[in-house]
Every structure is written in structure tokens, then in C-alpha cells.
Amino acid sequence: MNIMNLIIHLRYMKNTKEYLNKIVNIIEKPYFYEMRNYGVTDLKEQEYICKKIYGFEVTIFDYLISKNNYELYDEDRLGRWIVSERNTNNKITYYCDFSGYWYKKEYDSNGNQIYYENSYGYLEDYRKYCK
């Protein structure tokens, strides 16, 4: 089955859990752009899909996915996106965007950055000095 036939087939199941679950299995970033293409514009349906993607309850507000007020994913109307992960102190530990750029950070128990690495190959590692 080619992609056009799949989309036509999926549209016949629109607004059912079966339809939403099929979307969960094929959707890729940019999530909101893709959901619009599949006709999923209802907030509850979008939250259902994102909950399945992330594996836990999420909140959606204007192309932003968050958990407990921590931003996980943000997308603009053109489909450009960023993904971030934060620690319990709300400091970013991982960032990735639509262009492929990413970075990782680690912090010590006092909240000081002790590690940084990015997709350009730049690395700062102070972990051995913090023990």
C-alpha cells in the first residue's frame, strides 16, 4: 500500500481510536504539522497521540508539548521544531532541533554545569574534577 492509499484509508477511520493509533505508529516530527495533514486538529485527539508518543500524560498549548510545566517539544507553524529535556531543577540536559543541531549538558548536585557536548564535536568535560 503506497502512502496516498494509506492516507485515504486512514481518513475513513477519522476520529476513532483505531485511526489515532495508526497515526501514532507512523507520525514523525514535526508532530503538529503531521497531525494537521492527517486531519487531527482537535486538542484532545492531539493530546492522545502525544501521550502515546511520549508514554505519559502531556499538556499541549499552541504547538507546545509539556509535562509538569517542563517544555518537551515546541514547533512553529512552518513545522520547525525543537526537543528538549530538563532535570528537576528545570535546567536543559538535552536539546535538538529540526536542523539536526543538538547538545547535551550535565550538572553537579549544586547545579553547576560539569559537561557539555554538541553536534559540532565541541566538548567540555569537568566531571573528573567534581568527584
Give the pTM: 0.77
Please, what is the end-to-end C-alpha distance for the chain in angstroms? 56
CA distances 85 to 50, 81, 93, 108, 128, Å, are: 16, 14, 6, 16, 24
The pLDDT tens digits for 107-120 are 998 999 999 999 99
For the chain, give the mean pLDDT: 88
**What's the pLDDT tens digit per position in 74-101?**
999 889 999 999 998 889 999 999 999 9
Looking at residues 34-39, what average pLDDT do you find?
A: 91
Domain boundaries, the chain: 3-100
Q: Which residues pair with 115 in a beta bridge?
A: 106, 125
The better pLDDT of the pair 94, 11 is held by: 94
CA distance 105 to 85: 10
Can you tell me the mean pLDDT for 33-61? 93
